[in-house]
Amino acid sequence: MNDEEKRASKEDCAESTNEQPMFRYHFKKGELAEKLQALGKAINGNKADLQKRCTDNGIAISEMRMKIKQGWENKPKGMLQVLWERGFIDTAVPKSELWKKYPEKGQKDNLGLVMPGTALKEMVADLPDFQDEKTLLQYHAEGRSTAGCQIMFIRSPKCHPEIAGEGIEYDWAGIKSYYRRSDLASKKTLEAFKALVKESMESVQFNHRASFSARAREYMLAYDVLEEWNNLPEELKNGDPEKEKLPKTSAQFLDRIVNCRWKRHRDVGADEGWVNLIMNAMKKREVIVID
């Protein structure tokens, strides 16, 4: 797109070249509600109810509008535009073929595998600024830092609820467990339901909080053991158990995973052999357990 084309497509404009530049626009539910409310009419019901009520009161439910060609000014950039500006898109590909060449989920080869460099989502996700971008919660939390109080917001890994926060997933589990054990009669009316929800949330006491926080900490230590073990050279993993040891850290929760699976927070049955292998390897190398 040259400079003249950029200027021409900057602002929204009517599609003058279209054979039928006008189209019938049907008002949305919110717009119909505003029209009815202005006349003091009821606004309850679904969209069909509001349309019928408008028709009965002489209010138009649609109108003819000019077709508008959207310009790029004040519009968010898409993935294709971001990658184009950074040089990841082949400029030799015609504009009409770009979406075919770079679909959102990528092109697939004969084996059904995504071809590298063709999936827009993957390409954008690999950009350094997208990888290191702060979440909205991180931004606002750290923005409240002062000279005397620095706030650092660290995200827990995705798909690992057992180490989120200070055991917040266990808080929710305790609340839901209390709610499910309650009588059905206490859930029938709206007032009773709200009261039960409040009671369920108050059921998690300080002793529960301390226990949940400790459990999350045990998970963190156990994952730390696995990470340290995975980073060891192969010759060290398979070395003489009398000479080689893993780093001194906690393997306490791995024992609990293996021996008390009925209390588990998530299913590890499919990984039973792997968990046993890791646990036995750590025991063999005399990993110190910190209680």
- The predicted model gives 46-52 an average pLDDT of 92
Name the residue with higher pLDDT: 30 or 163. 30
Residue 245 has pLDDT above 70, yes or no: no
Residues 122 and 153 in one domain: no
Query: In this predicted structure, what is the pLDDT of residue 62?
Result: 92
Residues 251 and 191 in one domain: no
Q: Which helix (H) or strand (E) holds 259?
A: helix 252-259
Q: 155, 177, 204 — which closes off a domain?
A: 204
Helices and strands (DSSP H and E) totals, the chain: 14, 4
Residues 232 and 198 in one domain: no
Q: How many CB atoms lie within 10 A of CB 162?
A: 19
Residues 195 and 225 in one domain: no
Domain that residue 153 falls in: 134-204
- The predicted model gives 98-114 an average pLDDT of 87
Q: Is the pTM of this model over 0.75?
A: no
Q: What is the dihedral of CA 134, 138, 144, 146, to 10 degrees?
A: -70
Residue 88 has pLDDT above 70, yes or no: yes
Contacting residues for 130 by C-beta, under 8 A, at least 6 apart: 124
CA distance 174 to 183: 16
In tens, the pLDDT along 167-184 reads: 888 899 999 999 999 998
Contacting residues for 184 by C-beta, under 8 A, at least 6 apart: none
Residues 125 and 167 in one domain: no
What are the contacts of 101-105 at 24+ separation with CB within 8 A? 104/79
Going 238 to 242 to 243 to 246, the CA torsion angle's sign is: positive
* Structural domains of the chain, count: 4
211 part of a folded domain: no
Q: 40, 69, 98 — which closes off a domain?
A: 69
